[in-house]
Structure 1
Amino acid sequence: MNDNDPQSGFTPGQFRERFRIPGGMRGAPGVYLCGNSLGAQPRAAVDAVDSELERWATLGVAGHFDGPTAWTEYHELLSTPLARLCGARDIEVVATGTLTANLHQMLISFYRPKGTRRRILVEKGSFPSDRYAVASQVHLHGLDPEHDVVELAPRRDGLLHEEDIEDYLEHYGDQVALVLWPGVQYATGQVFDTARICRAARKAGAAVGLDLAHAVGNVPLNLHEEGPDFAVWCSYKYLNAGPGAIAGLFVHERHARFDGPRLAGWWGQDVHTRFQMRPRFRPEAGAAGWQLSTLPILATAPLLASLQMFEDAGGMPALRHASLALSGYLAHLVHEELGEEIEIITPLEPHRRGCQLSMRLHAGEAAGRRLLERLQAHGVTCDWRGPDIIRAAPAPLYNTREDVERFIELTGRLLAADRG
């Protein structure tokens, strides 16, 4: 794919000057390939936070109600750009909470075991926080995670296959209460056909939820049409909102007037009666009804600033084109120049990969850790996931072909030095 194709509308790294990239050696620009873990800082994030600090200083409590960024309505400023990123409707998304807290809220509402239908189906090797959350929710229902959390294992190729999910649900779907699946597997970088997974879950009569932590802002999403019951995500990876930033959730419009169980808090109360302090909870329609506490404005302002860049870039179609060009270029150079020593474990078909490529050194774990440490010492930032995976994720908003080339050149040089 030609990343300079004018039809793409966006060139990899086109917005690089809008970010502060962690530095390299002796003040030189760094190569930051870690947007899969923590996105680089948008320069506009500083202005966004400073603006709210100034409003706090000058308006005090009146800042909740005054001005275009009144804090009581602040989450509404994010709904439309988030909905566009997620392929959703405004009523279906809200910026709120943190990833695992939001997941717990969704499980309270949508994991409703009854009779023999009580299993939660997840992938083996899921992100630990997801595994902890589902196990604890099974415990809350008096059930045993050893029996009622079912983990589908990868095949010998190390990857999970949608047909295996379909096969399991075909045979045991009447025992499954909920399917929880990632949009992108955090360790391998594999992108899943979430539409296919949602269809299989609904056919089996199970609820379905998606963890989009590694998918939102990375790959195109179409949540409204695909129809999961819920989805959750964080905002500090590809959405570049900073460490501990506000997270988000999706609840399909068919649940807009949800009458099942949920955890309730005053920020989920109908906005027209929220400040009347009534004792009875009447939730906002849609995803906003799952809000609990007052929005943490200083943890939300950077997300608002970052989402504007996604809009300016032309949205996910343009960024996806640039992303595939960049990750494809990285894969090509790894194969051509490092293939005897490094294996890419991420599927390379365009529809099965996002920004992240996960790699493994043939020389083993110790060699991989040593390489990662030496790359970091030379101003090149990737990350590690045990037992032996190096993850590199060129993000199209701020990474360039030159970043990829620098990573390849330095990696080759360091590996050559090890060979003596």
Structure 2
Amino acid sequence: MDLPAYVERLRSGAPPKFPADANSLQFAQKLDSQDSLRHLRDEFILPTKASLKKRALDGSIPGETKSTVNGTNGVNGAETEQGIYFVGNSLGAQPKAVRDYVNAQLETWASVGVNGHFTDMGQSPLVQWQDMAEDCANKSADLVGASPSEIVYMSTLTVNLHMMMASFYKPDSKRHKVILEWKPFPSDHYAIESQIVWHGLNPEESMIKIEPDDNYLIPTEKVLATIDAHADSTALILLPGIQYWSGQLFDIPRITAYAKERGIVVGWDLAHAAGNVELKLHDWDVDFACWCTYKYINAGPGATAGAFVHERYGKVDFVDNSESPSYRPRLSGWYGGDKRVRFNMANTFVPTPGAAGYQVSNPSALDLASVAAALSIFNKTSMRDLRSKALVLTAYAEHLLDQINAETDAAKPFFKIITPRDPAQRGTQLSVLLREGLLDDIAQALEQNGVMCDKRKPDVLRVAPVPLYSRFEDVWKFMQILRGALGL
């Protein structure tokens, strides 16, 4: 069976049925040779075994030969042995384009100063600064399944969650509860809790946490049952598209429709979903969503984040020729003002139509240069193609993990995969709950062999082969290192 056949089976819900020789370098390399996206790996700088040991800057870049170091004539050999980068669910690898885009921004700033806000420079990959957020939105339509006018790049993830809740969480004496999951990323919990307190409410009464089952998962039926139990008193449901710890992909369209039918505002934190799985935020009728850009989107640590606001909430209406428009209330700032009147410096706020009207401050041109560079790679493919490859990558990793467990006592396995077995309920990540006491030794063995993989205590190893730059060969090599760490 070839790679397209595996994709077809997994997309149809059928098991992949890997052959007896799947646990071999030759099989992995065969799948890589059939991968139509394999060229995208060349768009990234991946850490090497040598660079992972670096503790001081020396002017070198992994994979490049540098003839001088710190002004001397010393020569660094080409660092060609790349490590295995399975931690894109925490921080994506660096796109090569980032350096070019950031350098273009710096040259513009140096050359024309403040005029960079209004000048489109020839031979630059960037638009003028005041249009950079809009340009990133234009590049993101396929990424999140929305029109560019429903997308805005601004601030960072938790700030954007606060900005959205300021507009969409409107508790009253009847509806005041927020439904969330038991173990959200801590920042989400803090944001929701503080919003409730800000409104003078008691988090113990207003936060409804959905607990997982014995397999660490939250079935869709349990989410729907929780909605039913609190429908009349809930103002907002805010869940992760993918749960960061277990790797579970929630049924976004079904949960959204169910909650909205009961008059509940629906928001999603897509930090682990954007750039990872296919999204159709507009068609699913999501009210708002937020995501970071430093994980699967690869824009760099702390890079400017994204937000979605459904088009119905971005309307700006002038009634009876009034100079004061009607629009959805939000925390407002200068850069959310319509560009056509922004520099009139008037005290009447006229928001930009669409999600861009939710901006507050002038976004960092340096950060947006990184975001634009990262998005330029997504524009060389499609989320459907990336998801297709990811389905097989993850299934292959799952298959090899199962083979490892099959070699030990069934009553005392090395680990348990707590990410859903159904490919439709997960992204690229497999969360591996290790037998107690194994995590630190395994993490050390992986590090010594040039593997970057995320660990979350207690005892969870998050394995994330990312289709933009990960190979099937990487998956196979990772498993051999893991086997050695387990003494197999």
Fold shared by both chains (TM-score > 0.5):
yes
Shift of 1:161: 1.1
Structure 1 spans left out of the alignment, 5+ residues = none
Whether the 8 Å CA contact 1:358–1:391 is kept in 2: the answer is: yes
Q: Identify if the C-alpha distance between structure 1 residues 187 and 152 changes in structure 2 by more than 3 Å, giving closer, same or farther.
A: same
Number of aligned residues: 414
The residue number in structure 1 matching 2:22 is: none
Secondary structure of the residue that 2:433 maps to in structure 1? strand
Query: Please, which moves more after superposition, 303-312 or 287-296?
Result: 303-312
Name the stretch that deviates more: 408-417 or 125-134. 408-417
Gap runs ≥5 in structure 2: 9-33, 52-78, 122-126, 317-326, 407-412
> Is contact 1:208-1:230 (8 Å) kept?
yes
Question: What is the identity, as a one-letter code, of the residue corresponding to 2:190?
Answer: Y
- 2:484 aligned with 1:409, yes or no? no
- Indicate yes or no: 2:457 matched with 1:386: yes
| Map of 1:118 onto structure 2 | 176
Report if aligned partners of 1:268, 1:289 keep a CA contact under 8 Å in 2: yes
* Aligned equivalent of 1:279: 347
TM-score (norm 1): 0.95
Residue 370 of structure 1 and its aligned partner are, at CA, apart by: 2.1
Q: How does 1:15-414 map to 2 (within 5 A)?
A: 15-25=40-50, 27=79, 28-67=81-120, 69-257=127-315, 259-313=327-381, 315-339=382-406, 340-362=413-435, 364=436, 366-414=437-485
Q: Which has the larger radius of gyration?
A: 2
SS in 2 for 1:232: strand
In 1: Cα distance, 2:179 partner to 2:452 partner: 34
Structure 1 residues 17, 4: closer, same or farther in 2, change over 3 A? farther
CA contact 2:102–2:369 (8 Å) conserved in 1: yes
Partner AA of 1:385 in structure 2:
R
**1:91–1:288 contact (8 Å) kept in structure 2:** yes
With the length of structure 2 as denominator, give the TM-score of the two structures: 0.82
What is the CA-CA distance between 1:80 and the residue it aligns to?
2.1
SS at match of 2:114: helix
Q: 1:2 to 1:182 in 2, by over 3 A?
A: farther
CA drift at 1:39:
0.2
More helix per residue: 1 or 2? 1
1: CA distance, partners of 2:35 / 2:158: 33
> 2: distance between equivalents of 1:399 and 1:7?
16
Q: Percent of pairs identical after alignment?
A: 42
Is the 8 Å Cα contact of residues 7 and 392 (structure 2) preserved in structure 1?
no
Moved more, 352-361 or 233-242: 352-361
Q: Spell out, residue by residue over 1:195-214, the C-alpha distance to the aligned partner (whole angstroms, 9 max, x if none).
A: 01101110121101000000
